[in-house]
Chain A
Amino acid sequence: MSNVGKIRQEEQVTAEKRELLTFRLGEEEYGIDILKVQEIRRYESVTRIANAPDFVKGVINMRGTIVPILDLRIKFRFADVTYDDFTVVVILNVDERVIGIVVDAVSDVIALAPEDVRDAPEFGAQLDTDYLEGLASMDERMLIIVDIEALVRAPELGLIDAESAA
């Protein structure tokens, strides 16, 4: 009986904590809500979309679904954009859309309690603060938590047609 109680207690603790997938963009460490992550794939060649912005790498075929691949490193002007063996694509399911984002490497899955997250300062990351939920420290390193829904909906990303968004 006591065992059951203990498990319940643990469940409650984890329910309060959020699990984040952390990944690296350049030298910075980012985290996104793991519930938005559908899968992680190796970066593979994409089919270009004509006249699309440069950070839209193109589309891939993911088991019959056409999924656009965005390289946030290009979008947020990271100096060093390379595609190597560690480059991966995180497939996200946001707003009933499936998109993939290119990241330098996926690091870890961590659980964060709300009190571990602090508000993001006005600047400090390459991402616009509008898309940031906050910052957290993790073993001396800083973790930038991204509000991926806000990012996907952002007009400057041009993912959604102006008319269909209206």
Chain B
Amino acid sequence: MTIDISQFVQAFLDESFEGLDLMEVELLREQALDSEQVNAIFRAAHSIKGSAGTFGFAAVSEFTHGAETLLDEVRDGKREMTAEIRGLMLEAVDRIREMLLAARAGGAHHAAGGPATAARIETMLASAHGCPDDKSQPAQRTAVATEPAAPIPTDASTDAPDTRPWEIVFVPEPALLRSGNDPMRIFSWLGELGDLTVECVTRTLPPLGALAPEDCQLQWRLALPGTVDEAAIREAFEWVEDQCSLTLGRVGDAAAAQPDEVPATAPAHTPAPQSAGTAERPVGSNGAPVERRADAASIRVATEKVDTLVNMVGELVITQAMINTIGHSADELDARAVDHLRQGLALLERNTRELQEAVLSVRMLPINFVFSRFPRVVRDLSTQLGKRVNLKIIGEDTELDKGLIEKLVDPLTHLVRNAIDHGIESPERRRAAGKPETGTLVLRAGHEGGNILIEITDDGAGLNRERILEKARSQGMPVPEQPSDRDIWQLIFAPGFSTAETVTDVSGRGVGMDVVRRNIEAVNGRLDIDSKPGEGTRLTVRLPLTLAILDGMSVRVGEEVYILPLTAILESLKPTPDQLHSVSGRGRVVRLRGDYIPLVPLHHVFNVPATYERPEDGIVVVVESSEDRAALFVDELIAQHQVVIKSLETNYRKVPGVSGATIMGDGRVAMILDVDSLTRLQDTVH
């Protein structure tokens, strides 16, 4: 029987990219890594190496082996996780990712910088060879049996190899078999390494009556010739190491019997590598799910969302069965049956609506899918430029459509790089300016006025008016006379514009902001700049809510139903007559805890008939716009919904006071109110 393994290759790639992301997240931690974190990194590398070998990506497997060996030494406490090793490992992560990307694209899985990185890892590994008790090290780098890869060249070691025979005591935990591990497989593997002697220890076997057949009650004592590589032996036990007690030593070696030599130091609660790769989402040691790169062709959906879907489908089936029963119970429907039928249909309607919402939410991903790459970008770039940057990420759970997220990656990366390159100054300059040496870069995402807002704020030097003007003039761009700050910031978006004094590989080629702006405009977004000299720059990306989901409150005015974004609502109240005041020429205001808030009767603004003419009969919703507060007067509040925003502009045009439309549970369209433009509209009405 032949098995087509190509169907598993995609899964392997997906898992490997996840593993790389996990390695990167751990390596980028600011604090020193604890053993669990190092273990997590090591396991990811180990998994990639093993699977890459299985799927025939020999170059990947071979390359990863070096990194893995280095990590193994760190894990075993033979090395410190220095900044240098971290940097090298990050580099290795990049190379592996490049190779896998190339493999996914169907090309040869090689990375351009691969050999150079591999050489650096080799050098790093060789640097520890002075230690006399590190005899097993050189041999450790020979390719092991799992890999069909060509063996990596070994350094000739000056130390004479220790050839005393190996003695292994393998005491598995009773649960070993349940995790799918079979000691026989391990033994047959070991048998390939050399002449293996296996002795089964049966003294721990319970009496027959107490024997649980699913538990592994046996222990083994194994012996291998001394020429066998220690790493290869450990490799054989890799998958079971946290489920057993393993003692590995050479005959006559007193230390070998010491339990502290056992590599099973990993805390018992860390999942076995194979379960992390398949059943569960790999979890960083901070408990946060490890996010995947947004360029994946498939989406990984939170289990919670899938569970919701499954539950809803279950309910739908129950409802359908209920209606079916009524339909089949009688030839003629009597009043009671009709009543039941109506109930069933109402239930069906609700189920369907909920299911629809849940299905739509599957496409929504947290913006963290973009943001998660920035710690790395910031670290690399600030190191390269000799700057100190502290990155803060706020609102990474803001959800947007997958399609939108993918289109945001490049523009946002560019803006972040720009902020570090042009915005934040060097530590010396910052000190001279009386600012903390470490600059702060804030990435913030959130909803505002029915838009998705992404802000990139730095506390750097800010934009330099004069230099931009001078540069624009020297490049022959039209410059308005007496330009406002806004006019000047617009110059940055002109094609070919750059103020960087030198062209670095970071920025300065002038293929920047105009492309960024075009990319953002291509998804109907808007890019704004706000800058103060010496204080910093804020770039604001506003994205439309196409397909985005918004939490809203439905309100009724006469026959019409509108959706108010929940984020805009401060409170709602039924005003008493003495809270309402007229201000001559400016309409009416509502007095609320000493503040006077302008009253905006929605039926006036939209020119529709309302049920109530007097605010004290209806409801007043206090909303916050970007400029001010307003008291919207509506007939009643209906309910809170999560709505999917649909663009009105696709087939119609922009409507003042409205940011979009949505489809309500009953299939009707409802307008989503734009609080900012509503308040402006009110001014024109009066």
Chain A positions near chain B (C-beta within 8 angstroms): 45-52, 56, 58-61, 64-68, 97-99, 158-161, 164
Contacts and interface: CB of A to CB of B under 8 A. Distances in A.
B663 A51 contact: no
Contacts of A64: 646, 663
A72 to B, nearest CB: 16
B80 interface: no
Contacts of B667: 61
Nearest to B669: A47
A49 B652 contact: yes
Nearest to B664: A61
A128 B560 CA distance: 34
B287 to A, nearest CB: 38
B272 interface: no
A117 to B, nearest CB: 29
Given A50-B606, A50-B608, A65 B653 contact: no
Top 10 nearest A-B pairs (CB, nearest first) are A50-B606, A47-B669, A68-B652, A161-B653, A61-B663, A97-B651, A66-B661, A66-B646, A98-B651, A59-B669
Given A45-B668, A47-B560, 9 more contacts: A47-B671, A50-B606, A50-B656, A50-B658, A50-B671, A61-B669, A65-B650, A99-B651, A99-B652
A59 B607 contact: no
B605 interface: yes
Given A61-B663, A66-B646, A47 B651 contact: no
A68 B651 contact: yes
Interface residues of B, number: 25
B152 interface: no
A56 B648 CA distance: 13
B655 interface: yes
Contacts of A47: 560, 661, 668-671
A67 B653 contact: no
A86 B658 CA distance: 33
19 contacts: A47-B661, A47-B670, A49-B648, A50-B606, A51-B655, A56-B652, A59-B661, A59-B669, A60-B669, A61-B668, A64-B646, A65-B650, A66-B646, A66-B650, A68-B651, A159-B652, A159-B653, A160-B653, A161-B653
Nearest to A97: B651
Interface in B601-656: 605-608, 646-656
A50 B605 contact: yes
Nearest to A99: B651
B657 interface: yes
Summarize B's interface: helix, strand, loop or mixed.
Answer: loop
Nearest to B603: A50
A66 B608 CA distance: 21
B251 to A, nearest CB: 74
A59 B670 CA distance: 9
Nearest to A50: B606
Interface string B291-309: 0000000000000000000
Contacts, number: 73
A159 B655 CA distance: 11
Most chain B Cβ neighbours within 10 Å, of A52, A60, A61, A99: A61
B656 A51 contact: yes
B124 to A, nearest CB: 57
B355 to A, nearest CB: 14
A164 B654 CA distance: 10
Contacts of A158: 653
B654 A66 contact: no
Nearest to B606: A50
A113 to B, nearest CB: 33
Contacts of A160: 653
Contacts of A99: 651-652
A158 B669 CA distance: 21
Contact of B654 (A46, A60, A161): A161
A67 B668 CA distance: 12
Given A64-B663, A161-B653, A161-B654, A48 B608 contact: yes
Contacts of A65: 646, 650-651
Interface in B373-392: none
B648 to A, nearest CB: 6
A119 B641 CA distance: 54
Contacts of B661: 47, 59, 66
A1 B514 CA distance: 62
B655 A50 contact: yes
A58 to B, nearest CB: 8
A147 to B, nearest CB: 19
A61 B664 CA distance: 9
Contacts of B651: 65-68, 97-99
A51 B657 CA distance: 10
A160 to B, nearest CB: 6
A46 B655 CA distance: 16
Contacts of B606: 50-51
A160 B647 CA distance: 14
A45 B649 CA distance: 21
B525 to A, nearest CB: 15
Nearest to B607: A51
A60 B608 CA distance: 18
Nearest to B647: A66
A101 B55 CA distance: 59
Most chain A Cβ neighbours within 10 Å, of B560, B649, B651: B651
